[in-house]
């Protein structure tokens, strides 16, 4: 018997399901079931389903229900906060390797988000675009085009 957290129209319901196949139902067509539960008949139409995200949209006797199913694993991942979207505040950008600054792509005062191209660093005959690893505002740029930098040297300071 598995323990599930089912969210129906944003209302959470905890339940234990032993065997979904034990449901008294007959397929009317590919998207519609006729279900009997405690001597009551229901017409269940599957409107949309996303099995990857474990969501389904159902029409039961004409009423629409948005359903999300979370098994014990999903609940544990959620409790641990592994799916939480976080943004990192960036304080400083340091040179990841020694090299030559080929281009500076940002300016002081510019607000950046994670993934913003900051500069181009040439090292070992390859040009590397250094991307922001978080968000912030550029406080100062400690290098300019054609400067050489050492590994770990401060390049950009953020606030």
What's the pLDDT score for residue 43?
A: 93
β-pair partners for 42:
35
Better-predicted residue by pLDDT, 90 or 156: 156
The domain ranges of the chain are 2-80, 92-158
3-class secondary structure per residue, 120-148: EEEECCEEEEEECCCEEEEEEECCCCCCE
What's the pLDDT score for residue 81?
A: 64
* pLDDT tens digits, 105-131: 999 999 998 889 999 999 877 888 888
* pLDDT tens digits, 15-42: 766 655 567 889 899 899 998 888 899 9
What's the pLDDT score for residue 73?
A: 78
What's the pLDDT score for residue 88?
A: 52
What's the pLDDT score for residue 85?
A: 52
Fold of 92-158: OB fold (Dihydrolipoamide Acetyltransferase, E2P) (2.40.50)
What's the whole-number mean pLDDT along residues 40-68?
90
Half-sphere exposure of residue 33: CA atoms within 13 angstroms, side-chain side: 14
56, two tokens: 């389904």
Please tell me the distance from the alpha carbon of residue 71 to that of residue 94, in angstroms, as a whole number.
Answer: 43
β-pair partners for 135:
89
Fold of 2-80: Glycoprotein, Type 4 Pilin (3.30.700)
């Amino acid at each position: 018997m598995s323990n599930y957290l089912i969210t129906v129209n944003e209302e959470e319901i905890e339940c234990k399901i032993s065997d979904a196949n034990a449901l008294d139902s007959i397929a009317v067509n590919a998207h519609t079931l006729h279900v009997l539960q405690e001597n009551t008949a229901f017409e269940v139409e599957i409107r949309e389903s996303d099995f990857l995200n474990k969501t389904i949209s159902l029409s039961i006797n004409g009423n629409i229900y948005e359903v999300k199913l979370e098994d014990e694993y999903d609940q544990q991942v959620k409790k641990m906060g592994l799916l939480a979207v976080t943004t990192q505040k960036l304080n400083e950008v340091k040179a990841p390797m020694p090299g030559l600054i080929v281009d500076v792509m940002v300016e002081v005062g510019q607000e950046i988000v994670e993934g913003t191209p900051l500069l181009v660093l040439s090292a070992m005959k390859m040009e590397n675009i250094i991307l922001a690893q978080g968000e912030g505002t550029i406080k100062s740029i400690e290098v300019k085009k054609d400067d050489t930098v050492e590994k770990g040297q401060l390049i950009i300071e953020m606030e």
